[in-house]
Structure formats: C-alpha cells, structure tokens
C-alpha cells in the first residue's frame, strides 16, 4: 500500500512539471513608437482561451505587472502586460513617473490608441479566443483600462485596481461594451469621493454593468507590496484588500467569459 501511495505521489509530481507558464518579451509598435510588452501563458494545451491585458502603474512596465500577468496565465488565460510608454522608458522616480503618466492623462486619445495597439497584439495571438478579451490595470493602468472600455473596444470585462476614475469624456461611457469591476480603497486620498460619485453616475447614466468594491482603510496602491505598510504616506499595501480584490477579479472573469 505504501508503495502504491509513493508511486501515485511520484506520478503527480512528474505530471505537474508538464504544464508550465511560458513567458516572453514581445516587441511591437504604435505608429513609430517601439514598445516592449510581456506575454505569459500556460503551455500545457494548445486550446484557445480568453486573453487578458495587464496595464502597469505610472512607473511603467516592470516586475509587478509581469507578476500579475504570470498569475493570470496560471489561471488559464493568455496574459499580455502592455507597455504604455515605449521601450526602455521606465521612470525611476515619482517625478519622472508623473511626467510620463501626465502625457497620456492629458491626451486621452493617445492613451486609447496606445492601449489599443497592445490589445491588437493580444487579440492576434494564436492561443487567444478573440471573442473573449479582458483587461486589468493598476493605478495609472486602472485609468487606462477604463479609457479602453470607453473607446468602445470589444471587451468582455475590465477591472481597475486603485485607478483614477475621472475622464474628460464621460459621454463616451455610452460606447462601453464590457462589464466593469472597480476595486477601490475607501481611504484613497488620490481619488476624491466626488470623483467616485461622478464615476458611478457616469456608469449608471450609460446603463453600464458596473460592480464597485470599496475596501475600508485601504489607501492608494493597496495591492502593491513594494508600496510599504504606512498608510499615512498615501500609498501602502493592504493584504486583506489585495486578496479580496484578486478573488473578486477571478470570479468576475469566470462570469464574463462563461
């Protein structure tokens, strides 16, 4: 009996190694701008599956967004972490990040066009079921994926984590085809309550299917461990909000991709 159990253990240990997340750097372009994204998927099957975009925070594509893409790949999706700024443009300070993010926040058409270029890369991947596309974004990325939805992109679902919610074009909410999930820290001083209420009204007026989750005590960047643990600084990690928001995203995508 012990030998049988040992044999089964060794079998499952060996078969577990057959499936692995494959990742690669993908160079692509938007106009004349060269961009460098990160693609991840589980290579255990050649079956088509939903594709999910991941949009980085204001310091550009880095390890954090890549980790999230890998986590999505482990869930069975093809994940593509987009590059909004351009190859090798990776701000190192908050001042540099604010300058880069400001370019796109002040030009929403450029923001939309840049993220649509990434969506095209994801859509064209041979393992992606192009009828089942989604997008998630963090901070600056949350703002970006909401603008992607407002552009009328053919998406099933969009998730914003601690992203700014305001837009200069609230009338464009009528173009939204996706379901929306907003994961928001209720103590986030970067997103005023007035902005939250205006967003809720924008979605309601456009009859958009929107789910809003607020987390008590969570400030900006609540999913980012690198943000530290001091909420008084305005940005801090909150383990409970991080876990809850991820679980909500998992359930949300299971539903919209069903």
Which CATH number does the domain housing residue 90 bear? 3.40.50.1820
- Please check whether residue 13 lies inside any domain of the structure: no
- Please check whether residue 103 lies inside any domain of the structure: yes
- Please check whether residue 81 lies inside any domain of the structure: yes
List all residues 6 or more positions away from 209 whose beta carbon is below 8 Å from its beta carbon: 179, 180
Domain tally, the chain: 1
- Please check whether residue 245 lies inside any domain of the structure: yes
Q: Give me the pLDDT at residue 19, please.
A: 57
How far is Cα 26 from Cα 134, in angstroms, rounded to an integer? 19
Measured CA to CA in angstroms, residue 136 lies from 9, 145, 193, 194 at distances of 37, 6, 22, 23
Q: Give me the pLDDT at residue 20, please.
A: 87
Tokens of 56: 């980085």
Instruction: Provide the whole-model pTM.
Output: 0.91
Inter-residue contact 64 to 53 (CB < 8 Å): no
Q: Which domain holds residue 104?
A: 20-256
Tens digit of each residue's pLDDT (9 = 90 or more) over 50-80: 999 999 999 999 999 999 999 999 999 999 9
- Please check whether residue 15 lies inside any domain of the structure: no
- Please check whether residue 11 lies inside any domain of the structure: no
Tokens of 138: 């963090």
- Please check whether residue 10 lies inside any domain of the structure: no
Tens digit of each residue's pLDDT (9 = 90 or more) over 210-254: 999 999 999 999 999 999 999 999 999 999 999 999 999 999 999
- Please check whether residue 152 lies inside any domain of the structure: yes
């Amino acid at each position: 009996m012990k030998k049988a159990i040992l044999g089964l253990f060794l079998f499952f240990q060996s078969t577990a190694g057959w499936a692995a997340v494959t990742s690669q750097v993908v160079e692509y372009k938007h106009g004349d701008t060269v961009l460098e994204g990160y693609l991840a998927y589980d290579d255990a099957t050649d079956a088509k599956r939903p594709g999910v975009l991941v949009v980085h925070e204001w310091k550009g594509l880095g390890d954090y967004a890549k980790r999230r893409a890998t986590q999505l790949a482990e869930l069975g999706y093809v994940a593509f972490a987009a590059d909004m700024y351009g190859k090798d443009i990776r701000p190192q300070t908050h001042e540099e990040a604010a300058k880069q993010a400001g370019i796109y926040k002040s030009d929403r058409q450029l923001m939309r066009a840049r993220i649509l270029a990434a969506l095209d890369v994801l859509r064209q991947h041979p393992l992606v079921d192009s009828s089942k596309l989604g997008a998630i974004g963090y901070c600056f990325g949350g703002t970006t994926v909401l603008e992607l939805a407002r552009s009328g992109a053919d998406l099933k679902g969009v998730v914003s984590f601690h992203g700014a919610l305001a837009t200069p074009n609230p009338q464009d909410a009528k173009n939204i085809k996706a379901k929306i999930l907003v994961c928001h820290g209720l103590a986030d001083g970067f997103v005023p309550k007035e902005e939250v209420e205006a967003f809720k009204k924008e979605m309601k007026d456009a009859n958009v299917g929107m789910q809003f989750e607020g987390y008590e005590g969570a400030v900006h960047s609540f999913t980012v461990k690198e943000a530290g643990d001091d909420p008084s600084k305005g940005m801090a990690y909150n383990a409970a909000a991080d876990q809850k928001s991820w679980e909500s995203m998992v359930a949300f995508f299971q539903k919209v991709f069903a």
